[in-house]
Amino acid sequence: MDTRTHETRLRIERIRDALNAQGVHALLVPSSDPHLSEYLPDRWQGRQWLSGFTGSVGSLVVTRDRAALFADSRYWAQAEAQIAGSGITLEKMATGASTIYIDWIAQQLQPGQVLAVDGQVLGLSLANALRAAMQRAGVTLRTDLDLLKAAWEDRPGLPTEPVYEHAAPFAVVSRTDKLARVRKAMASVGASHHLVSTVDDLAWLLNLRGSDVECNPVFIAHLLIDATGGRLFIADGKVPADVAARLGADGITLAPYDQAAKALAALPATAKLLIDPRRVTLGLREAVPATVAVVEQINPSTLLKSRKTAEEAAFIRAAMAEDGAAMCEFYADFEASMARGERWSELDIDTKLSAARKKRPGFVGLSFSTIAGWMANGALPHYRATPESFAHIEGNGLLLIDSGGQYHGGTTDITRVWPIGTVSAAQKRDYTLVLKGTLALSRTRFPRGTLSPMLDAIARAPLWEHGLDYGHGTGHGVGYFLNVHEGPQSISKAIAEPAMAMEPGMITSIEPGLYRPGQWGVRIENLVLNVAIDTPEKNAFGEMLEFETLTLCPIDTRCIDLSLMRADEIDWLNRYHATVRERLAPLVSGAALAWLIQRTEPLAA
């Protein structure tokens, strides 16, 4: 390849032309949009367009003579491959939450020079840290420029697909009840107004869904709530007339998407605005008049939607059963086909597993792009096969499949690892140690209000005992027919905060892993529900919680090194498999039922 004509190099040069034209010395391009979403609509995929790196997390910095991509360990191999020949260097971060690029920028720039970042996609919390660091370095920070405008000639527009209602019976709590609960929280801090920009909060609060973000049933909008009503700032034509009428009946009027900042600027001096500094951009915050009092705290809706009701939990259990039935159908076909000597690729797995899910009642779409990683590809936690780069399933080893579905009654996310041919002793050892981590955390009881990061070490302990670890978090919250990644709880090495307290009704993943670069990867993931339990000492020591495992799919026992398993661990696995068989058997038949029975046979202790 002639690197002088590398498409990414040409785009970087166009950005440098824009830097020079504006008297700017560096540009920060975060993976972000005006709603601080994890997964972005095409219009705000600037970092991907400019660098060629397609991972969901990462930041790009372009100076007049250097360009650097900052990514964490989940993406190192992927990033190195995708930026090869582009002139961009990879700067490795310990975690996705790292902000080492701020220090890097401060070291690259000289006092008096200028850093630009689009304030419309810059989170308020990050903006504060960035501004402080640049002030110490004597660097001017400009947040009023969108330099991608000049360089990105065919930039996509706003999504146009219409929104729709998440209707009964699945929408268990009405829109008016949710709004009333948020207004009660506003009143508790004396707020007259509240801005909601995060798209999953909006979708939950208004009982609306959309398709503006791939695999996430959300839509692009802002909502400004007051004591009696609210304005939804959304693109023209996205809300059907009948939906708009029902919103109006609940006090929600429509306004153009680009008028949110003007509405904030027009707030009366007597207003008191509630905003979440981690869920609002600098651009919107700066639109608020200095005369308006501001309360900064977590969005009430973020906390409320994390706690699923008993009725919602019932629908989620049903969705998990349908998802598990789809898995049985797929895996029965896959194993029979492989036994006949037929050739499968990672792409075939994605296509056929998705087809099995589409047959299930209530299925809407995938909750994320399927990860099917054979051997070395399984060592890339966020790997995705493409028509340009994929592997065939052949030989001996481990196949990792991480997939999930969106159902009207819930969101699923499951990872399993399957043996193909003969599995080595080393592979069995890795598999078993990861399984022990999954089981250890799944069986844990803990006081209500425990900060979720405190639980992280429980899943890692079996790996740590052998000097092993993994670079990603152990668990993320999951929405109710919403984002597959949902806060506020996170079972990870993150710094614990009060909002991360574990409460009944929260759904979280448990997914420890182990990755051997260039060899294989293991991750075993279930979703679990926080449920309250009665204990003899409840009055003296408070309420205790435990996990109900929601995911229903066999965990392959052929990969287990039984010499590493305790009797109590085998007992838990056998009881789990008995539940899986009981719940899924009525939903499958023929080869799928036979496969289910075979894969849920109990192990001898």
Burial of residue 371 (number of CB atoms within 10 Å: 0-12, 13-18, 19+): buried
Is 211 within a domain? yes
Residues 30 and 173 in one domain: no
How many folded domains does the chain comprise? Answer: 3
Q: For residue 474, give both structure tokens.
A: 């152990």
Q: Which amino acid is at 73?
A: S
Residues 361 and 422 in one domain: yes
Average pLDDT over residues 330-338: 97
Average pLDDT over residues 363-380: 96
State pTM to two decimals: 0.93
CA separation for the pair 217, 164 (Å, rounded)? 10
CA separation for the pair 34, 258 (Å, rounded)? 11
Is 158 within a domain? no
Confidence of residue 4 (pLDDT cuts 50, 70, 90): very low
The residue segments making up the domain with residue 239 are 164-305
Residues 367 and 449 in one domain: yes
What secondary structure does DSSP assign to 285-297, as a single string?
Answer: HHHS-TTSEEEE-
Is 605 within a domain? no
CA separation for the pair 148, 50 (Å, rounded)? 9
Residues 417 and 517 in one domain: yes
**More confident: 495 or 392:** 392
Residues 259 and 328 in one domain: no
Average pLDDT over residues 513-518: 96
pLDDT digits (tens, 9 = 90+) for 27-71: 999 999 999 998 899 999 999 999 999 988 899 999 999 999 999
Last residue of a domain, one of 151, 172, 191: 151
Is 312 within a domain? yes
Residues 510 and 539 in one domain: yes
CATH number, domain at 429? 3.90.230.10
Last residue of a domain, one of 305, 331, 347: 305
Q: What is the mean pLDDT of the chain?
A: 95
Residues 476 and 520 in one domain: yes
Residues 170 and 138 in one domain: no
CATH number, domain at 109? 3.40.350.10
Per-position b or e across 513-533, b if 16+ CB within 10 A of its CB: bbbbeebbbbbbbbbbbbeee
pLDDT digits (tens, 9 = 90+) for 395-414: 999 999 999 999 999 999 99
Is 354 within a domain? yes
Does residue 163 register a pLDDT over 90?
Answer: yes
CB 85 within 8 A of CB 1: yes
Residue whose C-alpha is closest to residue 196's, from 214, 176, 182, 177: 182
Last residue of a domain, one of 305, 321, 337: 305
Is 159 within a domain? no
Is 157 within a domain? no
Residues 434 and 333 in one domain: yes
